[in-house]
């Protein structure tokens, strides 16, 4: 598993996100209020909206285009909507945010 040190935790706002340009498209890296980080392809399963631009709350993000709610930990849309955004691994180590691409799912 290859890990990339993408930025320090401070460089992502709490309840915010950053865009990481990956080899196969943008990845959104989210930070929750309790300082957990999650990474998803920056494409809403609905109409491809950039999830990184949505409002983050709890462990969810609301897509800025049509307000689909996506679970950050699974990438799954909240019912009754159905769909899934591709997930990548992200974690925090010594105040740095590490990202590992999941090649199975694009990224």
Partner 1 sequence: MKKLKLVMIGNGMAGVRTLEELLKLAPELYDITVFGAEPHPNYNRILLSPVLAGEQTFEEIVLNDLSWYAENNIRLMLNRKVVEIDRAKRRVIAEDGSEAEYDRLLIATGSNPFILPIPGNQLDGVIGYRDIADTQKMMDTAKTHKHAVVIGGGLLGLEAANGLKLRGMEVTVVHIGEWPMERQLDKTAGTLLQQALEARGLNFKMQKQTAELIGNDEGRVRAVRFADDEVIDADLVVMAAGIRPNSELAEKSGIPCNRGILVNDTLQTYDPRVYAVGECANHRGTAYGLVAPLFEQAKVCANHLAMLGFSRYLGSVTSTKLKVTGIDLFSAGDFLGGEGTETITLSDPIGGVYKKLVIKDNILVGACLYGDTADGGWYFRQVREGHNVSEIRDHLMFGEGAIGDTGHQGQNKAMAMPDSMEVCGCNGVCKGTIVKAIQEHGLFSVDDVKKHTKAASSCGSCAGLVEQILMSTVGGAADVKPKSEKAICGCSDLNHGQVRKAIVDEHLISIPAVMSYLNWRTPNGCATCRPALNYYLISSWPGEAKDDPQSRFINERAHANIQKDGTYSVIPRMFGGVTNAAELRRIADVADKYQVPMVKVTGGQRIDLLGIKKDDLPNVWKDLDMPDGHAYGKSIRTVKTCVGKEFCRFGTQNSTGLGIDLEKALFGMYSPHKVKLAVSACPRNCAESGIKDVGIIGVDSGWELYVGGNGGIKTEAGEFFVKVKTAEEVAEYSFAFLQLYREEGFYLERTVHYMQRVGLEYIKKIVLEDETRRKALAQRLMFSLSFEGDGWKKAIAEQSLKKEYETIQLAQIEPA
Query: What residue ranges bind partner 1 (CB under 8 A)?
Result: 2-7, 11-16, 18-23, 26-27, 33-34, 47-50, 53-58, 60, 62, 64-67, 69, 80, 98-99
Residue 16 or 106 having the CB closest to partner 1:
16
Residue 84 CB, nearest approach to partner 1 (Å): 18
Residue 60 or 105 having the CB closest to partner 1:
60
Residue 23 or 95 having the CB closest to partner 1:
23
β-sheet bridge partners, residue 56: 61
Tokens of 47: 């109409």
Residue 30 CB, nearest approach to partner 1 (Å): 11
DSSP 7-72: EEGGGS-TTEEEEEEETTEEEEEEE-TTS-EEEEESS-TTT---GGGSEEETTEEE-TTT--EEET
């Amino acid at each position: 598993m290859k890990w990339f040190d993408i930025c320090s935790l401070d460089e992502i706002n709490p309840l915010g996100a950053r865009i990481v340009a990956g080899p196969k498209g943008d990845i959104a890296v989210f930070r929750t209020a309790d300082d957990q980080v999650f990474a998803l392809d920056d494409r809403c399963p609905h109409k491809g909206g950039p999830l990184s631009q949505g409002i983050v709350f709890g462990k969810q993000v609301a897509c800025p285009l049509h307000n689909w709610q996506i679970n950050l930990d699974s990438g799954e849309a909240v019912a009754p909507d159905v769909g899934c955004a591709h997930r990548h691994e992200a974690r925090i180590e010594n105040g740095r945010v590490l990202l590992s691409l999941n090649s199975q799912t694009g990224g």
